[in-house]
Chains A and B, each alone.
Chain A
């Protein structure tokens, strides 16, 4: 026999001990006449009993209970001491510490790069950075590079001298 669908919730509340006392007389009256609901109620109660009996709530043994108490009080003491230590150290809340660490790493990295400055790709070395011997070598190298130009200048100077000599006034020649 099937239980009455209209009384499903009432039956369920009754089994769990949650039925409103005002509704109980009517429900009990119904149970007297309805075999389906009676049977369903018996089965539900049997189910809950089976669950309760076969799944007992375990108890902590005296030793384990004592160990748990000691462990909790110990950890609380440690936390309290840790808190005190943290208060001494700037009183920074726990959650901000990783953010502060990340910020300080970024500051160090940026300041390092800003002090060093970016390296130019040509990596040209300025003369002022070189030692004196190296400076002389660089100057000599300049002279060697410009030697052709100097030779040309020398030729031009000679030419000018020849021309200047050729520009002697005519009257003095005749004289």
Chain B
């Protein structure tokens, strides 16, 4: 019999090691998915950020009084950890780029594009190649979006959250979230026009 989430949280607040372990097992895949999409598809970094987010959650779990939804609170921590991690990474990249010979200001920051598992497109090699190319185009387009637009879009499309939930997680007004998603969709549509228009 699985323990209800509320009971699990209450036990985790009392430092119950079993409840903490069970909580991590239940939510690590979701947290990892958010981190993975946020940190440019770098699996190692996504794992580190997931771990950092869970540590923050358990360090502050006693402060959670149940005024808001626990999942909003939890995802907010995950999202903020990812945004902090991304900021930190950019800062380091900027520092190291100063020491690199032949450094140019306009050079775009290096983003990690790890290979996804190969997509199976039947036995058609052309379809397979097209699929790979489209994946790369989508990644590039997503990476070119500003941080908040990308986050709002990813939470909507990949995590299936409602606009209200995204607003609570990101600490923004619903109208702002709508605007972020709308702009992100518009940018993606422009970039991926050739793939979308038949």
The residues of A with any CB-CB pair to B shorter than 8 Å are: 12, 16, 18, 43-44, 46-48, 50-52, 54-60, 64-65, 68-69, 71-73, 75-76, 79-80
Contacts and interface: CB of A to CB of B under 8 A. Distances in A.
Contacts of A51: 138, 157, 188
Interface residues of B, number: 43
Interface of B: 15, 17, 20-21, 24-25, 28-29, 32-33, 36-37, 43, 46-47, 50-51, 54-55, 58-59, 116, 119, 131, 134-135, 138-139, 142, 156-158, 162-163, 181-182, 185, 188-189, 192, 195-197
A51 B189 CA distance: 11
A12 B28 CA distance: 31
A96 to B, nearest CB: 18
A50 B195 contact: yes
A56 B47 contact: no
A68 B29 contact: no
Contacts of B37: 55, 57
B196 A46 contact: yes
A64 to B, nearest CB: 7
Contacts of A12: 182, 185
A47 B189 contact: yes
B157 A60 contact: no
A75 B51 contact: yes
A-B CB proximity, top 10 nearest: A57-B33, A54-B135, A47-B196, A69-B24, A72-B54, A43-B196, A46-B196, A60-B32, A54-B138, A58-B36
Contacts of A75: 51, 55
Given A51-B138, A73-B21, A76-B58, 20 more contacts: A16-B156, A16-B163, A43-B197, A44-B185, A44-B189, A46-B196, A50-B134, A50-B192, A50-B195, A50-B196, A52-B158, A54-B134, A58-B43, A59-B32, A60-B32, A68-B32, A68-B47, A68-B51, A69-B21, A76-B55
